Structure formats: structure tokens, C-alpha cells
Amino acid sequence: MNHFELRGGELHCEDVPLSRIAEAAGTPVYVYSSATLERHYTVLRDALRSAGLGEPLIAFAVKANSNVAVLRTLSALGAGADVVSEGEIRRALAAGVPASRIVFSGVGKTAGEIAFALQSGVAELNVESEPELKLIDQVAQSLGQRAKIAIRVNPDVEAGGHAKISTGKAENKFGVSFAEAERLYANASNAAGLSPVGVACHIGSQITDLAPMEAAFSKMRGLVERLRGQGLSVERLDLGGGLGVPYFNQPAPPTPSDYAAMIGRVMAGLDIAFAFEPGRVIAANAGVLVARVLHVNARPQGRQFLVLDAAMNDLLRPAMYDAWHDIRPVTPRPGPPVTYDVVGPICETGDTFTRDRALPPLEAGDLVAFMTAGAYGAAMASEYNSRLLVPEVLVKGADFAIVRPRETYDAMLARERPAPWL
């Protein structure tokens, strides 16, 4: 469910017409619904509770949407943060997420980032390799600390979805094998700078079939039992994220209740604290990208290019992942559908959002909304072609706020300076 609906012939976010936001913030602009963010988080939380999984740590994947206002909205409900850089740790802390609810993941943590995480008091560092384990041990000892760590396991499970967002196969860069995990966990238990508290896995994103998750989670339960059988303490099991969301052109994925019930069944009787790292399932349908039609370019060959002021630097997913986004006119015009190639102004053929898409008739000046754009939209935006970074707006009921303004060209240029010899 999302809170973007037609009212009086115009698309609204909650109680605010999108045209009003476009007038205030300009286009293109990301718009987020507080009500949708809150609903998606609470539905997942309540499903996990109902499945007998206690009070799990639900650490929102900051890489999906790193806007501080979005993070603060979720933090107020009790969400933690799954982070993969020092910058994301700083964003989570700035949003009011307690350090004790921050999980630091990622395969390439630097010594400086590890030190910052330890000094900040994060809940755990998910370790993805033996060299990283040794580095964390060294940094922790230099600080006079024992780092709480979890060993991330690559369960070698095919999870479907796009190859670029699949993380659970042996050929992917993430995590260690089960055999390595047992050895590294035992070694960590004897290391002066380490305190192993659990194990973790994450097999990918936009997963619409529970079977691969169930296979991976069953393997993870077995690992916990083997480690405990060796007399080692395992307090936490981090099962990652990855539950898919409906992209309007796809069948409905499993519900949070289905997902939680499966986990409850697999983990029945296992006395352990659970952690989860959802991102897309909370944020995707909570956001849209609003753009304006610049013109309709009708070619003699019969193709019609719908040229927008949004581009691949604002929403990279179609160019990078061939991702499909529903495109809706903010104020639909009457008339039969028209087939368009929807493109942006960047000097790249790849700056194409979709081809041969049937849409209501559109004209220059009309507004359109890319749906399901709240995850991996603004977070992946850039200034390619020296285009200004897209602004973000948060809506709550009848109120809205520009929570990241559009930068000026002067500010963009001021970040650079000529070399002394120039």
C-alpha cells in the first residue's frame, strides 16, 4: 500500500497535490510519504513479532534511502540502521538512530571507518573476510576495545532478481563459506580485540520467492547450532533483507506476514536474538520522482519520444538494472493511450527510462510521476552532465517540507578550485 492517489483528477501524496510540490521545489523532485514509510515499517515489525521472533533489531538499509529526514521518520518508530560506510553511520547518528541499533556491513571497510564505528559504539560489525577480521582486531586493540562482530556467511543460494543485486552465490564478493565461518568464529573468540556475537547472511535484493530465503535461513540455523555445539556463544542471527516489493508490472511478492511466518517455522525453538536489514520493502513505494514533460518529439518513423526534465542521473535504476517503473500523469488527460519512448536530456542513449510504453496522452508542461522510486532513487543520483542534484521533499498529511534543497550552480562550482599553475 502507498499513499499516492488521484483526488479530484490530480495525483496527491497523502493530502498534498504533487503539482503544489512541483511548484515549490521545481522539477525533477523526489517526494516521500511519511504515512507509507511508517506503515511499511510497522507492518513488518508486527509480522515478525507475531511469528514469535521476539523484538528483533530492524536495521533499515541506509543505502536504499539515506535522506536524514526519512531516517529520522523510521528512527522515531524504533528502527535501527544497516550502514556500509562512515558517511552512512554519520547520517544514521544525525537522524537520531542510537549507535546501539547500527549494524556496519560492507566488504571494504577502511581502518578509519572501523575506528569511527568502534568509537561511536555501533551494535556490531559484520565481517566479510579473514583479512577484514584481522584488521578489525588490530584497530580494536589499538583503541583498547573489543569489537562486537558477526561473521557474514555466503550461503551459496541462487535468489533470483537482477544479477547486479544478487549477493548470495559463491561467486559474489560478499561473505565467507560455512566452513570458513566456523573457523573464523572460533578464532575471533580467542582474539584480544574481538567479541563475536553472531552470524549474518544476506542473499540479495528484490526477492519474490521465499524458497531461496528458506534454504539460506535453514543453513544459518544449522551453523548456529554447530557453533554452539563447540561451546561458542552465538547471541544474534542477522538474516539481512531482500524481500521484494510490487513494481506494478510484476506479480505481488510474498507479504511480510508470509515472510515472517516462514522464518518463525524455520527458527522454531532456537533461542536467539534476530536482526533484519530491510530497505527497499520499506522505502520503495513510499517515494515517487516527479518530472515535467519538456516536449514530445514525433519522428517520421512513427516513434514518439517523450522528453522529460528528469534524467538517468536523477533515477539511475532503468539504465543500470533495466528496472521498470510505473509512470503516471499527475493530471491525466482524456483520450486513448499513446505509445512513447520516455527519455531524459542527458547525452547518452542509455538515458532512456522505457521504450514503447503506452501512456495517457501527454503534452509539454505536463507533470508525470515515476512510482516506486523511494529506494535507490535519490541515493544513487549524481551530477552527471553537471546537472544539479535532485531535491527531496517529505510529506506528512497536509504538510510538506523540502528536506534536501536543490543546490545552486554557484555552490556546485565552488566545490572545485583551479590548480595553482592555472
Q: What is the CB-side half-sphere exposure of residue 157 using CA atoms within 13 A?
A: 23
Mean pLDDT of 247-271: 89
Does the pLDDT value for residue 314 go beyond 50? yes
**Residue 421 belongs to some domain of the structure:** no
Beta-bridge partners for 338:
359
Same domain, 274 and 348: no
- Unique residue bearing C-alpha cell 509539454: 364
Last residue of a domain, one of 280, 311, 327: 280
Nearest 5°: the CA angle 223, 236, 282 is: 110
Cell numbers placing 214: 528458506
Last residue of a domain, one of 280, 313, 329: 280
- Is the Cα torsion angle 112, 115, 121, 123 positive or negative in sign? positive
Does the pLDDT value for residue 322 go beyond 80? yes
Same domain, 242 and 369: no
**Residue 28 belongs to some domain of the structure:** yes
> What are the pLDDT digits (tens) for 370-402?
999 999 999 999 999 999 999 999 999 999 999
Same domain, 44 and 20: no
Mean pLDDT of 132-146: 97
Distance CA 135, CA 184 (A): 13
- Is the Cα torsion angle 217, 222, 225, 231 positive or negative in sign? negative
**Residue 422 belongs to some domain of the structure:** no
Does the pLDDT value for residue 187 go beyond 70? yes
**Residue 420 belongs to some domain of the structure:** no
Does the pLDDT value for residue 54 go beyond 50? yes
Same domain, 20 and 82: no
Same domain, 189 and 337: no
> What are the pLDDT digits (tens) for 56-65?
999 999 999 9
Same domain, 118 and 49: yes
pLDDT band at 244 (very low <50, low <70, confident <90, very high): confident
Same domain, 135 and 247: yes
Q: What is the CB-side half-sphere exposure of residue 193 using CA atoms within 13 A?
A: 17
Same domain, 28 and 64: no
Whether 368 and 328 have beta carbons less than 8 Å apart is answered as yes
**Residue 125 belongs to some domain of the structure:** yes
Nearest 5°: the CA angle 67, 208, 53 is: 75
- Unique residue bearing C-alpha cell 521545489: 25
Choose the weakest-confidence range: 42-46, 91-95, 244-248, 399-403: 244-248
Instruction: Give the pLDDT confidence score for residue 111 in this predicted structure.
Output: 98
Mean pLDDT of 6-25: 98
- Unique residue bearing C-alpha cell 522464518: 263
pLDDT band at 173 (very low <50, low <70, confident <90, very high): very low
> What are the pLDDT digits (tens) for 337-368?
999 999 999 999 899 999 999 999 999 999 99
Instruction: Give the pLDDT confidence score for residue 174 in this predicted structure.
Output: 58
Instruction: Give the pLDDT confidence score for residue 250 in this predicted structure.
Output: 65
For residue 344, what is the domain's CATH number?
2.40.37.10
Instruction: Give the pLDDT confidence score for residue 156 in this predicted structure.
Output: 73
- Unique residue bearing C-alpha cell 544479477: 163
Does the pLDDT value for residue 248 go beyond 80? no
Domain hosting residue 115, numbered range? 34-280
Does the pLDDT value for residue 184 go beyond 70? yes
Last residue of a domain, one of 280, 313, 345: 280
Q: Rounded mean pLDDT of the chain?
A: 93
% of the chain surpassing 90 pLDDT: 86
Same domain, 103 and 17: no
Does the pLDDT value for residue 117 go beyond 60? yes
Does the pLDDT value for residue 172 go beyond 70? no
Instruction: Give the pLDDT confidence score for residue 57 in this predicted structure.
Output: 98
3-state helix/strand/coil string of the chain? CCCEEEECCEEEECCEEHHHHHHHHCCCEEEEEHHHHHHHHHHHHHHHHHCCCCCCEEEEECCCCCCHHHHHHHHCCCCEEEECCHHHHHHHHHCCCCHHHEEECCCCCCHHHHHHHHHHCCCEEEECCHHHHHHHHHHHHHCCCCEEEEEEECCCCCCCCCHHHECCCCCCCCCECHHHHHHHHHHHHCCCCEEEEEEECCCECCECCHHHHHHHHHHHHHHHHHHHHCCCCCCEEECCCCECCCCCCCCCCCCHHHHHHHHHHHCCCCCCEEEECCCHHHHHHHEEEEEEEEEEEECCCCCEEEEECCCCCCCCHHHHHCCCCCEEECCCCCCCCEEEEEECCCCCCCCEEEEEEEECCCCCCCEEEECCCCCCCHHHCCCHHHCCCCCEEEEECCEEEEEECCCCHHHHHHCCCCCCCC
pLDDT band at 300 (very low <50, low <70, confident <90, very high): confident
Does the pLDDT value for residue 162 go beyond 60? no
Distance CA 393, CA 30 (A): 6
Nearest 5°: the CA angle 88, 91, 94 is: 150
336 contact partners, CB below 8 Å, separation of at least 6: 361
Mean pLDDT of 115-128: 97
For residue 162, what is the domain's CATH number?
3.20.20.10
Same domain, 320 and 382: yes
**Residue 419 belongs to some domain of the structure:** no
Cell numbers placing 27: 522539477
Distance CA 418, CA 421 (A): 8
Same domain, 13 and 69: no
**Total of domains in the chain:** 2
Instruction: Give the pLDDT confidence score for residue 188 in this predicted structure.
Output: 97
Does the pLDDT value for residue 163 go beyond 50? no
pLDDT top residue among 168 and 176? 176
Distance CA 71, CA 117 (A): 18
**Residue 300 belongs to some domain of the structure:** yes
Q: What is the pTM of this model?
A: 0.94
pLDDT band at 327 (very low <50, low <70, confident <90, very high): very high
* Closest alpha carbon to 47 in 375, 373, 274: 274
Catalytically active residues, by annotation? 347
Does the pLDDT value for residue 303 go beyond 90? no
Does the pLDDT value for residue 209 go beyond 90? no
% of the chain surpassing 70 pLDDT: 95
Whether 369 and 327 have beta carbons less than 8 Å apart is answered as yes
- Unique residue bearing C-alpha cell 551459496: 156
> What are the pLDDT digits (tens) for 89-113?
999 999 999 999 999 999 899 999 9
Does the pLDDT value for residue 138 go beyond 90? yes
Same domain, 97 and 177: yes
Neighbours of 23 (CB within 10 A): 11
* Closest alpha carbon to 310 in 246, 253, 214, 377: 377
Mean pLDDT of 325-331: 97
Whether 79 and 100 have beta carbons less than 8 Å apart is answered as no
